[in-house]
Amino acid sequence: MKYIQADYSGPLHGKVHIPGAKNSTLALLAAACLADDIVTLEGIPQIDDIRLIEGISQDIGMQLKQEGGQVVLDPRWIHSAAIDPGKSSSYRASYYFAGALLAKFGRVTIGFPGGDDFVSRPIDQHIKVFQALGAKVQIFQDYFVVEGTELKGADIYFDTITSGATINAILAASRAKGRTVLHNAAVDPEVVDTAAFLNRLGARIYGAGTDRIRIEGVSYLNGGSHTVIPDRLIAGAFLMAAGLNGGQVTVEDVIPEHLGSCLAKLEEIGLQIECGENHITAYGTGSLRATRIRTGMYPGFATDLQQPMTALLLQAKGKSIITERVYPMRFAHVPQLRRLGAEIEIRKESAFIRGGLPLSGGWVHATDVRAGTCLLMAGLAAEGSTYITGIEHIERGYEDVIGTFRSIGAKVSIHDRPDMIVTEDRILS
């Protein structure tokens, strides 16, 4: 069993190159299925989810070649739209293959999405999209089937703001007949990136980045190339790391506008922020103030940043409150932080954090990507050594988490102990 060891590291200093956005990458790789010629994607991160997509691509006949951060896909030989439920259930964004393959094949079989478990990740809005475009959806125990021989444009009103369903609607409507208008659409940068990629191939998508998106269906999409946007969530976590012990961290190759709410909150609690055209520097002043945060859909404070933010607020004297409005049960990291001495109380969808108390190292378990980041950051601020299991979740979202944190002075290492047995009482409770 592999685990990460994190030791108290003092102030962190250095520069971090931010890779392409995981959440955008997963949409773009599926979107390539819509093309009728070769597609080249630049800046693709080398993470475990990409390897899962590579396996799915081989099964359905899409050639996928990786060379560094470049991925070349050839969708011309796709021969199947039946995706192995075991593979598709291994990560959340597998549902994009339904939207990307439906117009070409008329029938898609796919397992329910997996990935990080936040108790409830419903796909009801995705189903609503497919039905609005004229498809039928059949639900089975571990997979679902979407069938529609001819997709037709429609007006679609989302009941809630959802980035995943907005992207899936864009994919499915791009090759449907006629006009589709999405109302109450998500405005996330990943939505804009997916639309920009498809427009490069010849799609006609207007208004991405607003809550009303219009798609004029086309019958053919060319090949082409596109560079994925940088990962705003990884960038935000490293900026927070600067505040742990009064350090200074610069994230490079970023789009500062994508981090507006995060930067505002970091300044509010006492960090100094300096933005350039494609870089951001955070200066830790050594004194942090408690605050209140409510997560929300973009441009609100991202749910993916509340976990690393929790680690930072443990260093801020006073009581902080984080209210999780996107995934109200996303607090699996809290019992683990308590193992290190944190005082956090959960009431409904809010975490009440008593900051400024000393932390001590111990054994903890990561249950998802961002929880892993949170625990690693807490370990860097705790006395002694912290040992983090469940690192396969961290590797799903980071190319080289150890090397990147080491580059800014963090004392972290990865170990392999095949003789170690982890029990629920010891780690998970």
- The C-alpha atoms of residue 267 and residue 224 are separated, in whole angstroms, by 40
Catalytic residue, chosen from 74, 116, 188, 193, is: 116
Hunting for tokens 């990507």 — which residue is that?
A: 369
19 and 45 Cβ atoms separated by less than 8 Å? yes
Tokens of 285: 């002043």
**Residues flagged as binding site for phosphoenolpyruvate:** 22-23
Say if residue 299 is preceded by a cis peptide, omega within 30 of 0: yes
**Residues flagged as binding site for UDP-N-acetyl-alpha-D-glucosamine:** 92, 121-125, 304, 326
| Residue closest to 294 by CA, chosen among 264, 273, 274, 254 | 264
- The C-alpha atoms of residue 229 and residue 255 are separated, in whole angstroms, by 8
CA 118, chain centre distance (Å): 13
- 188 carries an active-site annotation: no
| Residue closest to 367 by CA, chosen among 335, 342, 339 | 335
Count Cβ atoms within 10 A of the Cβ of residue 221 and give its class: 0-12 exposed, 13-18 middle, 19 or more buried.
buried
| Residue closest to 90 by CA, chosen among 49, 60, 44, 30 | 49
Task: Catalogue the active-site residues.
Answer: 116
